[in-house]
Amino acid sequence: MEQITSSYILDYLKNNEIHLASTHAKLCTPIIRRMCQKMWYIIRFGEIKLCDDMYVLLDIDGVMVPAQSWKRPEFLQDGFPVFSLKSIQALQKIINKTDATLVLTTSHKSIYSISEWKDIFKLRGISVSALDRLTANDLNLSRKEEILQWYNSGGHSDDQIVIIDDDKSLHALPFDMKQNLVMTSPMVRLTDELADDAISILKAGALAPA
């Protein structure tokens, strides 16, 4: 299967003299790619649903803070590690362009209250208006299991979701959800390019599973 890109789609339409008459203002490359993959593997999918609720499921270590086990991170006065400047700019870009709710998936999520988390982000120059977190992981679930629990128990099937994480276990997410995964490198963290990917996923709309 060829890589589905905007230029590929436009070239195909032009070469085959097909008039583009989009019925969805938010339909874009990520969701088209997802639909093509399902058709390629003969997987039935339901109707496309668009929703105003957007969520960024955000890890911290390996996303905002470099995961360097051999090196002690630098801390600010609140006792929490410094965020990468590029990651700060990338996350703020996502927030500014989507107004999405941040949902913290990090293992640190239950250590601080929502108010304290907002202060942590504010001290690092990130303006967050809507912030939430996964419930305490008392059952020692994997990150994949935690996210699936949040997704299934919270009625989020019609919501627009992007998962930003460096946890490799998330590659085992169900097909539909894996298309909403932006995997970071623990050393490189969240970049401007990955922020653009996250924004595209959020603006693509929710694809209801069959």
Distance (Å, whole) CA 50 – CA 112: 33
- The residue ranges of DSSP E strands in 99-190, in sequence order, are 101-104, 131-133, 160-165, 181-183
Distance (Å, whole) CA 151 – CA 146: 9
pLDDT of residue 30: 65
pLDDT of residue 108: 94
Distance (Å, whole) CA 110 – CA 54: 22
pLDDT of residue 47 exceeding 60, the answer is no
The answer to whether the beta carbons of residues 206 and 49 sit under 8 Å apart is yes
Distance (Å, whole) CA 115 – CA 130: 11
Ramachandran region of residue 140, left (φ > 0), alpha (ψ -120 to 50) or beta?
A: left
Domain locations in the chain? 6-40, 49-207
pLDDT of residue 209 exceeding 50, the answer is no
Encode pLDDT of 143-182 as tens digits.
999 999 999 988 787 789 999 999 999 999 998 899 999 9
Distance (Å, whole) CA 123 – CA 169: 31
Fill in the DSSP letter of residue 23.
S
Residue with the bigger pLDDT between 74 and 69: it is: 74
**Token reading at 128:** 């967050």
Q: Lowest-confidence range among 49-53, 175-179, 201-205?
A: 49-53
For 13, other C-beta atoms within 10 Å of its C-beta total 12
Encode pLDDT of 106-135 as tens digits.
999 999 999 999 999 999 999 998 999 999
pLDDT of residue 58 exceeding 70, the answer is yes
The answer to whether the beta carbons of residues 75 and 81 sit under 8 Å apart is yes
Distance (Å, whole) CA 63 – CA 76: 17
pLDDT of residue 176: 84
pLDDT band at residue 210 under the 50/70/90 scheme: very low
CATH code for the part of the protein at 49-207: 3.40.50.1000
Sheet order of strands, 131-133 included? 131-133, 101-104, 54-58, 160-165, 181-183
The chain-wide mean pLDDT, for the chain, equals 86
pLDDT of residue 6 exceeding 90, the answer is no
Residue with the bigger pLDDT between 71 and 102: it is: 102
Kindly report the pTM of this predicted structure: 0.74
